[in-house]
Each structure stands twice: as structure tokens, then as C-alpha cells.
Amino acid sequence: MTTANQSSLRGIIAAFIVVDTATQIAFKWASERIGAGTLDIAWVVSALETPALWLAVFFYGLTFVFWMLILARMDLGRAFPLSALTYVTVPAAGMLLFGEHLSWPQAAGIALIISGVVLIGRGKPS
């Protein structure tokens, strides 16, 4: 893979992670506006009338597009672990935007995920 192609792939992966994180933020934002409710027609209508839900669906579609672009350029076995980076970015966004807190086991798990992605990234592509 050429340097230009590697840069392009890195950009697509970064876009995937950012947009996938934005998807989860938008779903959380929508859920706060919709409320827990019960799964009945009124709740579904309320959900469908919530702009944040449609934003989440839009971002979800973009995530799909970026994922397809990634899979067209690299092996699934190397690509899929990179998607785990959203297990790092989503909790960080939750802390920054929603005031959520991480327990020590959660923080340790995130550190292990980062370590795993780094190790997989060091492996030679097939």
C-alpha cells in the first residue's frame, strides 16, 4: 500500500471512529429527550418526532459507509479490532458531554482495549 493510500485509509478510519462516536452521543441525547417510557405507540411516535434520533440515524448511515470503505481496503481481521477504539472514545465523550463517570474496572478495560489495538496494529498484514 502506498503512503498516499495509507494516509487515506487512516483518514477513513479516523472518520469512522469520530462518526461512530457521534452516533452514540446522538442516541444518548435522543434517549434523554424521549425518556424511558414504555414501548407503546405514543413512545414510538415521540421517538420518531425527536430530531436527535434522526441525527443518530444519519450518523449511523455514515458509519456504515465508512466501514464499507475500510473493509474494501483492509482485511476484516485487522479492521474489526480498530472498531473497538469506539469503546475508548464513547466513554470519553460520555464523561465530557454527559458528566458520566468511569469506574476503575472500566478504565482498566479501556486501557486493555487500547493495548490490544496497538498489538494488532503491529502485526504484519496478510
In degrees, rounded to 5, the angle at the alpha carbon of residue 71 between the alpha carbons of residues 17 and 116 is: 55
Q: Is residue 22 within a helix (H) or strand (E), and if so which, with residue range?
A: helix 3-34
Burial of 93 (0-12, 13-18, 19+ CB in 10 A): middle
pLDDT in tens, 70-125: 999 998 888 888 888 999 999 999 999 999 999 999 999 999 988 988 887 776 65
Q: What is the pTM of this model?
A: 0.83
Instruction: Check the CA dihedral 75-110-15-50 and report its sign.
Output: positive
In degrees, rounded to 5, the angle at the alpha carbon of residue 50 between the alpha carbons of residues 44 and 52 is: 125
